[in-house]
A and B are shown apart, each in its own frame.
Chain A
Amino acid sequence: MLKGLLEHIGIEPGRLNFSWISSAEATKFVDVAQQVAASVKALGPARYLIKKRAEVA
C-alpha cells in the first residue's frame, strides 16, 4: 500500500523494493540484489522527498 502511495505521488516504482528470501536462497539474494541495484541505478539519483536544508525565510 505504501509503495502504491509513494509511486502515486511520483516516487519511481523501482526505488522501493520488497522481497522474500529464505536464509538458504543465497543465489536468489544475489539475483534480487542485482535487480534492485540495476533498477535503482537506471533511475539515477533520487530526486524527490529528500530533506534538504529547510527552505524557510
Chain B
Amino acid sequence: MSDWEPKITTFLCHWCSYGAADLAGVSRLQYPHNFRVIRVPCSGRVSPKFILAAFRHGADGVWVSG
C-alpha cells in the first residue's frame, strides 16, 4: 500500500496557478509527482462535469486551482 501512488487530475488556471507551478519549477522547489495538469484559461472553465468525469475515469483525486 505504501508503494501506491495516486493520480490526481489537476486543473490549473493559465494565468494564476499554472504560472505558480512554472515558477516553482524555476525555483526548483520539489513536490510530489502525482499531478497530471490540464491547463485551462481560467479555473471558471472547469465544469462540474469535468470533475465527475475525472473521478469516473479513476482519478484518485482532483485539484482545481485558480
Q: Which residues of A contact B (CB under 8 A)?
A: 2, 6, 11, 14-30, 32-34, 36-41, 43-46, 48-51
Contact = CB atoms under 8 A, between A and B. Distances in A.
B20 A26 contact: yes
Interface in B11-55: 15-24, 26-27, 29-32, 34-35, 48, 51-52, 55
A30 B63 CA distance: 13
A32 B61 contact: no
A46 B32 contact: no
Closest 4 A/B residue pairs (Cβ): A23-B19, A40-B61, A37-B32, A26-B23
Nearest to A47: B60
Contact of B52 (A25, A33, A49): A49
